[in-house]
Chains A and B, each alone.
Chain A
């Protein structure tokens, strides 16, 4: 984890950001994305703007999923009683 910090060294004058750094980061981001439509285009070139676009979409989707799940969890929590909740807690440890 310290290697990550030293690689993208935080410089005060922000004009010193190299493009290589940005490209590295974008590539890293691209690896994380779900590769739904990327299998065809994996020719070693990825468009930066496309990666960013998909990243935004993906984050929005994840947020929405978390919201839905938390909604569902809140309803489920209301209906379970405390004994079951304690049981689940013991299961998850």
Chain B
């Protein structure tokens, strides 16, 4: 959907540097969408997070969310004690929320992010879902101290092709998938293919988030350094 929100105020300030920044942002999103066509196997969901349309959609939502953060923080108390860590987290949460909304509820992690925000708002404890029955039950004993330690242990083994997972490596792979499941929001107790699928989508969404926020930061810092023109 073309989320081009018709702006009421036309950009009546044709500042040269701002048009350069706009061109740079368009080039950024255009290059990212071009890069996916080369390595795309026809997976539509790979292109989903890289299309320019999606990026504009997300940028719009992000801007709105950030505006609300600004208005909220400035109206509540301008002389807050430590605004920066709170504001940083608020920005992150707003960005995550905008990202989750852009996912249109098709993925677990987006639903989990939105559910978490709402639940935190109402101060409710998140009910742990009953773990799905998994065949090779991984008894998470104290051996999972950190993924770094587990990783080193398995790297000493001979490299196993993905084509055949033999019996020895199944516990290792499962363990790593568990760790991965903890990283992706909302996938803590899902089965292995679900976690892998959510992870692919989550990575792409995060990449888009990074791109959008980076270009936004560049825009803001660029306009800050530019001399203020009479309004």
Contact = CB atoms under 8 A, between A and B. Distances in A.
A49 B84 contact: no
26 contacts: A1-B45, A17-B191, A19-B165, A23-B165, A25-B193, A26-B196, A29-B196, A32-B200, A48-B165, A49-B155, A49-B173, A50-B159, A51-B162, A55-B199, A56-B183, A59-B184, A66-B209, A67-B88, A72-B217, A73-B216, A74-B87, A80-B220, A84-B220, A86-B9, A89-B63, A92-B216
Interface of B: 4-5, 7, 9-11, 13, 18, 21-22, 25, 39, 43-45, 48, 56, 59-60, 63, 66-67, 69-70, 83-84, 87-92, 95, 106, 132-135, 147, 151, 154-155, 159-165, 169, 172-173, 176-177, 179-180, 183-184, 191-194, 196-197, 199-200, 202-204, 206-207, 209-210, 213-214, 216-217, 219-221, 223-224, 231
A23 B84 contact: no
A28 B31 CA distance: 22
B205 to A, nearest CB: 9
Contact of A8 (B161, B197, B231): B197
A27 B43 CA distance: 13
- 4 nearest A-B pairs in the assembled complex, by CB-CB distance: A52-B176, A25-B196, A74-B87, A70-B91
A69 B203 contact: no
Q: How would you classify the secondary structure of chain B's contact residues: helix, strand, loop or mixed?
A: helix
B44 A28 contact: no
B180 A58 contact: no
Contacts of A39: none
A69 B99 CA distance: 15
Interface on chain A toward B: helix, strand, loop, or mixed SS?
Answer: helix
Nearest to A10: B194
A62 B132 CA distance: 29
Nearest to B194: A10
Nearest to B41: A31
Contacts of B87: 74-75, 77-78
Contacts, number: 209
A36 interface: no
B191 A52 contact: no
Contacts of A21: 193
Contacts of B231: 83
Contacts of A48: 160, 162, 165, 169, 173
Interface string A1-24: 101100010100111010101110
Contacts of B217: 69, 72-73, 76
Given A23-B163, A70-B92, A76 B221 contact: yes
B176 A25 contact: no
A42 interface: no
